[in-house]
Structure formats: C-alpha cells, structure tokens
Amino acid sequence: MAVAISLRNVVDEIDGLLDQWTAYLNRRTGELYSLQDADASMVEEGEDLEDLPAWQRDEVPRIREILESEDWLALPTKFDINEWEIMEEFSRSLDDPELRYDLSNAIRGSGAFRRFRDMVYRRGIEEHWYAYKRAALEQIAIDWLEENKLSYTRDDEAGVSE
C-alpha cells in the first residue's frame, strides 16, 4: 500500500531548494532527501571516492540508491519553478494600481529578485507575498504529485488524502 505524501513537506522541500540541489521523494515511504548535483554527478560518474571525508563517503550508498531506484523521484527543481513568473502574477493580482505598478517595474531587468523583495518589504506586504508564493508552490507540488500518481494529504486536513 502506497503511503500518502505530506503536501506540506513537499512544498517545504521545494521552497527551500538552492540552485544546484535536487530533492527526491521516495514514492513508497514518503521520505524526502536533498542532495547537491555535484555529489550526484560524482557518484554517477564513478569518481574516486577515497579522498572524500568519511561523512561524505558514508552518504555514497544512499545517493546511489536514490539515483538508481525507481522508488525515488526527483521533485521539481529551482529551474522547473519559474519564481519570476510567480512574482509577475502576484504583482498583477494586486488591487492597488500604484503597488501593482511598483512591483511590476521592480521585476524588470537585472536585480529583479532583490528589487522585488525590497519593494515587498518597503510596502509591508511580506505576509501577502509569502502566502501567494506558498499557494503557487503548493499548486506546483499538487500537479507534480498527481502527474506521478501519488496520493497526498493536506496537513491541515489530518487523515484526508487526495
């Protein structure tokens, strides 16, 4: 029997990902595991592992299992999630035309993420932005889980699976 995956945990995992990291989900157990792409490449390419620190060598069997087992699925990465588009949609969703204009301008050109974040804080709408972003990431996670035919639970609906 397949386990129902915690939607909250999947969203937390994809929200916390850094560039050059990939998170994996074990479809049988619901376990999540993140690893650096460089570590995955090192194991896949069969590089000499003797020079690695002991703690890193200890992770090699786990990494190999994740990369070779059909039970482990790669979650959407930072590159699969278009955060700029989420910021743009958020900007367009606002009722205040001045705020909508300011945020839309903030995401144009180099430094868009920093300018957007600064504008969100200056205008005091952090909670609104983070709730919007969380909802967008949740929808991405739901789409991914359903695409992979995995049942999930919304943690605010204990025991209810989708």
pLDDT range class, residue 42, cuts 50, 70, 90: confident
Question: Taking the C-alpha atoms of 84, 85, 86 and 91 in order, what is their torsion angle to the nearest 10 degrees?
Answer: 90
Please give the pLDDT value at position 156: 60
Confidence (pLDDT) at 19 = 86
Cα-flanking dihedrals φ and ψ of residue 31, to 5°? -70, 145
pTM of the predicted protein model: 0.85
Tell me the percentage of the chain whose pLDDT exceeds 90.
Answer: 70
Q: What is the reported pLDDT for 48?
A: 66
Task: Give the model confidence (pLDDT) of 74-132 as tens digits.
Answer: 999 988 899 999 999 999 999 999 999 999 999 999 999 999 999 999 999 999 999 99
Domain boundaries, the chain: 18-74, 81-162
Has residue 158 got a pLDDT over 70?
A: no
pLDDT tens track for 56-71: 778 888 989 999 999 9
- Average the pLDDT over 122-150 and give the result: 96
